[in-house]
Chains A and B, each alone.
Chain A
Amino acid sequence: MQQLARLLRDFKKHNNGWLWISLLAAAIILLPLLAILASVGKAPNENWSHITEYMLKDYVLQSVWLVLFTGILTVLLGVILAWLMAGHDFPLRKFFRWAMYLPLTIPPYIGAYTYGNMFSYTGTVQTTLRSMGIKLDQAYFDIMSMQGAVFIFTMFLFPYVYMITVSFLEKQSGSYIENARLLGRTPVAVFTRVVLPISRPAIVGGVTLVAFEVLSDYGVVNYYGIQTFTTAIFSTWFGMYDIESATRLAAFFMIGIVSLLALERLLRGHRKFSATTSKNSPLAPIRLKGISRWGATAFCLLVLAVSFVIPVGQLFVWAGWTYEEVLLTSDFLEMTFNTISVAFLATAFIMLLSIVVANMTRIMNNSFGAALAKVLTLGYSIPGAIVAIGVLSIFIWADERLAPLYSWMGRGDAPLILSLSLGMMVVAYIIRFTATGYNSVEVGFEKIGLKYMEASRMLGIGFTRTFFKVDLPLIKGALLSGTLLTFIEIVKELPLALLLRPFNFDTLATKSYQYASDERIFSAAVPSLFIIAVSLISIIVLHQAGKRVV
C-alpha cells in the first residue's frame, strides 16, 4: 500500500507536459519498428517461399561481405592515417589533420556514380589512357562490382574511423605510447602492441558508424548492381508490389541487426582501456626523417586526392557542361525549395523532441529515463529501408482506419491521404535522425549540469520557466550545432527520400540520383555539388566544436 502510494507520488512529481511529449516521441519512434516486428507473427504469403529460396541467402551474404570488407579497409586506412597524424610530424600535417574529414562531405552514392562514370569506356580515365595509346583490358576498369562498392565505401566513409581514433590518440594515449617508446620498442611494435589495442574502443565506435552507413545505403549498391538486403526490400516492394513480404524481410533483418548490436555490447563487455590514470598527457609527435617524411605527405595527398579532390574536380567539370541547362530549364529552384523545407520541418520536430526528452531524462535520472533516451536514438542503427517500411505500414494502417472519415468528407471510398503526404517522409526522418540532434542536446545539458536548474527552482521558478530562462540560453551553442548537423544529414539522405516522397516530389538527392540512373550523369553534377557544399558546412561546424572542446 505504502509502495503504491509512493509510486503514485513519484509519478505525480514528473507528471507534466514534458513527460507526455517524451512518451509521444518514444511512441512515434517505436510504433513503426514494432509494426515491422509484428509482421513476423503473421502467416507468410505465396511470394515468401520464392524470396527465401532465391533471394534471402545471397542477399544477406552480399550484405555481410560488403560490411566486412568495408569495415576491415576503413579500419586499416583510418587507423594508419590517425596514427600518422597523431604520432608523427611531416610536411603539411596540420592541413591534412582536418582535410581528412573532407571525404565525409561526399555522400557515397555521389562518389559511386562519379567514379562509375569516370571508369566507364567513355569516361575520363579510359579516354585519357587511349589518347596516350594505352589499351587495357576492360576487366581492369570494372568498378561496378563488389570490389568497386567496397572501394567507394572505404574512400568516403573511412573518416568516421579516422576522426574518432585521431582525437582519442591525441588526447589520451600520450603516457602509454611514450612509455612504449622509452622501453625501446620499434615503431611497428609500438603500433601493433600499443596503439591498436588501446584505441580499440575508438576504432569500434568508428567502424560501427561505418557499418550503419553501409547497411543503410541504397544508392551505391543499386547503381553498381549489387544485391544486398536493402535492395531485396526495394525489389520486393517495387518489383513484386508485395509490401507484406517486404515488411517480413525487414523484420528478419532488424532482428539480425539488433542481435549483432547486442553481441558487440557483449564482446566489449566491461573491459576498459582508457582510464587507468586520470592524467592524460597529450601525445607529442615525433618528426619523421628522410624518405618517410615525404612518403607520409605523399600518402596523405594520394588519399585526399582519391577521396575528395578528384571526384569533386570531375563534378565541377561536368557541372561546367550542364549548369545552364540544369539551373534554367529544369525545376531546380523547386527541388532546392523542397529539400530545404522538408529538412527544415523534420529538423524542427527533431530538435523539439530532443530538447524535451533530454531535459526530462536528466531530471528523472533513473532507468526509465535511460530507456527513453535509448529509444530516441534507436533509429540511427536501423537502415533507412527498414524505417521506410515501418513508417509506410503505420500510415497505411492509419489510412484504412480513417477511411470512413475520408468518405464522410467526400474524398472517395478508399483513398490514401496520409500515406501519400509529406508527413510520412517527415516522420521517417524523425525516426532515423533524432540521434544526431539528441546527442548534441545531451552533450549541451551534460556540460551545464543540473546546478543552474536547481538554483533556479530554489528561487521559485517552475521547471518549464526554468528551461526558458536558464537552460535554453546556456545550451544555445549545442542546440545550434545539433540543428545544423541534423539538417545536413537530412539534405544528404537518399533511400528514405526515394521510398517515401510524395508523387512528383523531388529533392536534390533524389533528383541527382535519378539523373545518374537515367544515364544523365553530367546533369547530376550540379545538385551533387550543392549537396557537397551544404555538407561542407557540417564539417566546419564539427571542426569548430572540436576546437572549443580542446
Chain B
Amino acid sequence: MSIVAINKLTFTYSSKKLCVIDDFSFSMNKGEIVGVVGESGCGKSTLLRLIAGLETPLSGKIDISEVTVVDSRTFVPPERRGVGMVFQDYALFPHLTVAKNIEFGLHRLSRSARSARVKEMVELVALAGMENRYPHELSGGQQQRVALARALAPKPTLLLMDEPFSNLDAALKAAIRSELREILKKAEMTCLFVTHDQQDVDALCDRTIKMGERIAVQSERISS
C-alpha cells in the first residue's frame, strides 16, 4: 500500500517568483525510509511542509494512506493528517518537561495508556531518568531524541524529518544515525527525511530522491 502518493505537485512562495517545486510526482510504500537530497533552496523542506499541511500547493495532489489530503478543492489541516514531524531545530515546547513534551500528542489516549506510552518512548530513545527536565537543560543530542520520541509517540502513519542531524556534532551524528535506523525499523515507521549529507543517506535510507532538477531522480539502496 502506498503511504504517500504525490501527483504533479507545484508550489511557489509568491506568485512573482519561480516555482520552488514544479510538477513533482513521487510515492513511497509502508516501512520505507527515503532520503530527500539536493542543494539548499531546491525545495526539500518545502516538500515536507506540503505533505505535513503547513503549506498549501499551487496545484497538484497529495494522498496519504490513499486518502486525498490536498488538491484544488480539498485541504485537510495538519492536525488531521496523521503525520509526525521532527523539526530542524526540534521545536520542543520550552514550557513543558521532557515527559510532557512526549505526552503532548497523546490526548486521545486514556491517562494510564498515556503514561505507559510515554514510558515506552522514553526507553526507546534511552532517556530514562530525564523525564522531568526542561528542554533547555538537555544537550543537543538529547533534545534530538526527545523530538523523535515526541513525533513517534502518537504512532503517525508517516514520519517527516527535516535535517534532523544538522545541529549535532560529528561524533554524535554517527552514533545517532545507526540508532535511528534501528528505532525506525523497530517501530515499522515509514519515514521521509531531508538531508544534504551523503553519510546520512548511506547509513539510513532505503532509497533517495534528488530534487532541484525538473524530474526527481530516484536511486535504489544497493545494500540493505
B91 interface neighbour in A12, A13, A451, Cβ under 8 Å? A451
Q: Which B residues are CB-close (under 8 A) to A5?
A: 72-73
Write the nearest CB–CB distance from B101 to chain A, whole angstroms.
9
Judged by a CB distance under 8 angstroms, whether B150 is at the interface is yes
Of the stretches B26-34, B82-90, B164-172, B185-193, the one at the interface is B82-90
* A360 and B76 alpha carbons, distance in the complex (Å): 18
Name the prevailing secondary structure of the B interface residues: loop
> How many A-B contacts if CB must be within 8 Å?
78
> Contact between A455 and B85 (Cβ–Cβ < 8 Å)?
yes
Binds A, one of B102-110, B125-133, B203-211, B214-222: B102-110
Q: Which of A68-76, A165-173, A316-324, A458-466 contacts its partner? A: A458-466
Which residues of chain B in 47-96 are interfacial with respect to chain A, using CB atoms and an 8 Å cutoff?
52-54, 56, 59, 72-75, 77-80, 82-85, 87, 89, 91-95
Chain B residue with the shortest CB-CB distance to A8: B73
Contact call A459/B54, Cβ cutoff below 8 A = no
Nearest residue (CB) in A for B105 is A459
Flag if A2 contacts B56 (CB, 8 Å).
no
Task: Tell me, yes or no, whether B151 is within 8 Å of chain A by CB.
Answer: yes
Q: Does any Cβ of A come within 8 Å of B154's Cβ? A: yes
| Chain B residues within an 8 Å CB radius of A6 | 72-73
Task: Label chain A's interface by main secondary structure.
Answer: helix
Contact A9 B74 (CB under 8 A): yes
From residue B82, how far is it (CB to closest CB) to chain A in Å?
A: 8
Contact status B107-A461, CB under 8 Å: yes
Check A458 against B56 for contact (C-beta < 8 Å). Answer: no
Indicate the size class of the contact surface on chain B: 20 to 34
A133 on interface, CB distance cutoff 8 Å: no
Whether B56 lies near A455 (C-beta < 8 A) is no
Residue of B nearest to A453 (CB): B91
With A459-B105, A460-B108 as contacts: A454 and B78 at CB distance below 8 Å: yes
CA distance A47 to B74 in the complex (A): 59
Q: Produce 1/0 per residue, A1-43, CB < 8 A to B.
A: 0100110111011000000000000000000000000000000
Contacts of A460 in B (CB 8 A): 79-80, 82, 105, 107-108, 154
* Most chain A CB neighbours (cut-off 10 Å) among B52, B54, B91, B150: B91
Bound form: Cα–Cα A469–B151 in Å: 17
Contact yes or no, B72 A470, CB < 8 A: no
* Separation of A454 and B88 alpha carbons in the complex (Å): 12
B77 touches A457 (CB 8 A): yes
Interface string of B105-118 (1 = CB under 8 A from A): 10110000000000
Known: A5-B72, A473-B95, A474-B95. A455 touches B87 (CB 8 A): yes
Q: Which residues of A contact B78 (CB under 8 A)?
A: 454, 457-458
Interface status of A456 (Cβ within 8 A of chain B): yes
User: Are B104 and A456 in contact, with the CB atoms below 8 A?
Assistant: yes
A457 to B156, CA, bound (A): 13
Q: What is the chain B residue whose CB lies nearest that of A461?
A: B79
Inter-chain contact A454/B72, CB cutoff 8 Å: no
B54 and A454 contact, CB distance less than 8 A: yes
Q: Does the CB pair A458–B77 fall under 8 Å?
A: no
Q: Decide: A10 and B87 in contact? CB cutoff 8 A.
A: no
Q: List 6 other contacts, CB 8 Å, given A6-B73, A9-B73, A474-B95.
A: A6-B72, A9-B56, A455-B92, A456-B93, A459-B154, A473-B95
What are the 4 closest A-B residue pairs judged by CB atoms, nearest first? Answer: A459-B105, A455-B91, A451-B91, A457-B78
In the assembled complex, 22 residue pairs joining A and B whose CB atoms fall closer than 8 Å, in A order, are A5-B73, A6-B72, A6-B73, A9-B56, A9-B73, A9-B74, A13-B56, A13-B75, A454-B78, A454-B87, A456-B93, A457-B53, A458-B84, A458-B85, A459-B79, A459-B151, A459-B154, A460-B154, A461-B104, A461-B107, A469-B104, A470-B93
